A = this chain, B = another copy of it.
Amino acid sequence: MSQRRGAKRAAAKKTIVPPVEEEIATNSLEEETGTSSEEERITKSQRNSKKQQKLVEEGEQRSDETEDGDAKIENKKGKRTGNRQQKSNSEPLKKVAKTDGKLNKTDSDFGSLDFTSKSKTKDGKPWNLKISSWNVSGIRALIKKNGLDFLKHEDPDVFCMQETKCSTKNLPAEAIIDGYHKYWCAAEKDGYSGTSLFSKVKPLSVTYGIGDKEQDKEGRTITAEYDKFYLVNVYVPNSGRGLVTLPKRLKWNQVLKDYLKKLDVKKPVILCGDLNVAHNEIDLTNPKTNTKNAGFTKEEREGMTELLEEGYIDSFRHLYPDKTGSYTFWAYFGNARAKNVGWRLDYFVLSERFVGNVCDCVNRSDVYGSDHCPITLFLNV
């Protein structure tokens, strides 16, 4: 069953129009069926020039919402391979979270958290657009823990996920949140990586990947074009234990930088997601002992610096240059989260010329369900 969304907004913002269709893509953007609406309409020709898009596929799938607003998706019977029964497409998850055996906290106390914000731009303009980003570390596990209840409370206009770890054909029905246009970008490899973007307003265009044949197999990037900016949702490759994939990661950094540069000449860019690097010593609890570990090597940190030098701002650090102990990731082991032994790996990085539009940027460290917490950006656009 789809979630019912209890809107609860503090400041004024532009009206959101519900008419909706959904896009699910495994490393590719599928045809749209629904009609777009409102001011941010996009022409057919615009949408069809999907440069980065790669059409791979099997198991394609789409879902249109019903008139009463309840998400309903096709329920094809899974084909049998031998005796092994395959899960049907997007059935509700049958299992609930095994709260019993968990050693780490999984439940958020949403009732006691405050998601409101009266933040304004430097010029005093109130926020009217909210973007959230979350490395969910497996959307199916998150759903079992009721982690997507976050959306009921945060109610962002745009929601970006990383590490969904779910092929399109295995998406549970609970992932089809009502009221958003939904875009899925899965890795070729089942259960690995994967990103998703939910948007109340239909983007002018949505593309997948950063134009690198190899890297784009891993479902790491979704770009949504809006009237005033590009939003790029990324899950940057982890450099791995023993830094085995550091070379791949550094190459990715270069390709991403080039990719953003091309967008930035057209419109301001908002890059969000898990950048898999703590930029400076202030961005993690144990800088001294982690210089040889993935996420805090010299090379990764320099990559972040080089990116910013292209003309981007780390919005959180821009607003809170001296704030310590504010992280977005805590290892599952060692009771790290309870001790706030963490890393700031998730960012909203935006074009310098857009920084005047920023109202606030917060790390939702009290929201559980993953080893990362969500982050939220408040903008006036």
Beta-carbon contacts of A76-99 to B below 8 Å, as 1s and 0s? Answer: 000000111100000000111111
Output the least CB separation between A221 and chain B (Å): 27
A6 close to chain B: CB less than 8 A: no
Q: Is the CB of B96 within 8 A of A242?
A: no
The residue in chain B whose Cβ has the minimal distance to the Cβ of A103 is B94
Q: Is the CB of A100 within 8 A of B96?
A: yes
Q: Is the CB of B101 within 8 A of A96?
A: yes
Bound Cα distance A96, B101 (Å)? 5
Q: Is the CB of A82 within 8 A of B242?
A: yes
Output the least CB separation between A98 and chain B (Å): 3
Beta-carbon contacts of A101-145 to B below 8 Å, as 1s and 0s? Answer: 101000000000000000000000000000000000000000010
Task: Report copies per complex.
Answer: 2
Beta-carbon contacts of A327-363 to B below 8 Å, as 1s and 0s? Answer: 0000001000000000000000000000000000000
Q: Is the CB of A82 within 8 A of B241?
A: yes
Output the least CB separation between A172 and chain B (Å): 14
Q: Is the CB of A100 within 8 A of B103?
A: no
Bound Cα distance A83, B334 (Å)? 13
Sample 20 A-B pairs with CB under 8 A, ordered by A number: A82-B241, A82-B242, A83-B241, A83-B242, A84-B241, A85-B333, A94-B101, A95-B100, A95-B101, A95-B103, A96-B100, A96-B101, A97-B100, A97-B101, A98-B98, A98-B100, A98-B101, A99-B100, A100-B100, A101-B144
Binding site for B on A (CB under 8 A): 82-85, 94-101, 103, 144, 241-242, 333
Given A82-B241, A83-B242, A95-B100, 18 more A-B residue pairs with CB atoms under 8 Å apart are: A82-B242, A83-B241, A84-B241, A85-B333, A94-B101, A94-B103, A95-B101, A95-B103, A96-B100, A96-B101, A97-B100, A97-B101, A98-B98, A98-B100, A98-B101, A99-B100, A100-B100, A101-B144
Closest 6 CB pairs of A and B: A98-B98, A95-B101, A83-B241, A96-B100, A96-B101, A98-B100
